[in-house]
């Protein structure tokens, strides 16, 4: 997934979806630039993105990650195998998350805090 909004990291439902689907997220460091600037940054970072995707694909665990693309083409890995945090979650969201995990036959992926 590619986004210009890094606030998703603070959202339990978003982080739960990322963890359950083991989705790699590439986020731009700033969302106030035009698409042309972000597109150029992405193209400059593409060799590093490709290398990280290949490296993580070969792993047994933590195959997915969250990385930030700088506006000059840098790439910084922020989290590897990120999990949602229960302490940032509304109790009803947590209960719903547990029900989805049980229905899908997967373990609850977040440690209790």
Of 2-6, 55-59, 78-82, 106-110, which range is least confident? 106-110
Domain boundaries, the chain: 2-104
| 21-76 residue pLDDT tens | 889 999 998 777 788 999 999 999 999 999 999 998 888 777 899 999 999 999 99
pLDDT, mean of residues 4-14: 84
What band does 113 get if pLDDT is binned at 50, 70 and 90? Answer: very low
pTM of the complete model: 0.76
Is the model more confident about 81 or about 32? 81
Cβ burial, residue 20 (10 Å; 0-12/13-18/19+)? middle
Task: Please give the DSSP secondary-structure letter assigned to residue 7.
Answer: G
């Amino acid at each position: 997934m590619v986004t210009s909004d890094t606030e998703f990291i603070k959202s339990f439902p978003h982080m739960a979806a990322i963890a359950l689907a083991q989705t790699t997220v590439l986020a731009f460091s700033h969302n106030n630039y035009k698409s042309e600037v972000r597109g150029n940054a992405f193209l400059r970072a593409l060799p590093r993105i490709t290398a990280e995707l290949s490296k993580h694909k070969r792993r047994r665990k933590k195959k997915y990650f969250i990385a930030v693309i700088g506006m000059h083409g840098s790439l910084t890995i922020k989290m590897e195998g990120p999990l949602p945090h229960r302490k940032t979650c509304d109790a009803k969201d947590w209960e719903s998350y547990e029900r989805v995990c049980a229905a899908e036959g997967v373990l609850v992926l977040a440690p209790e805090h």
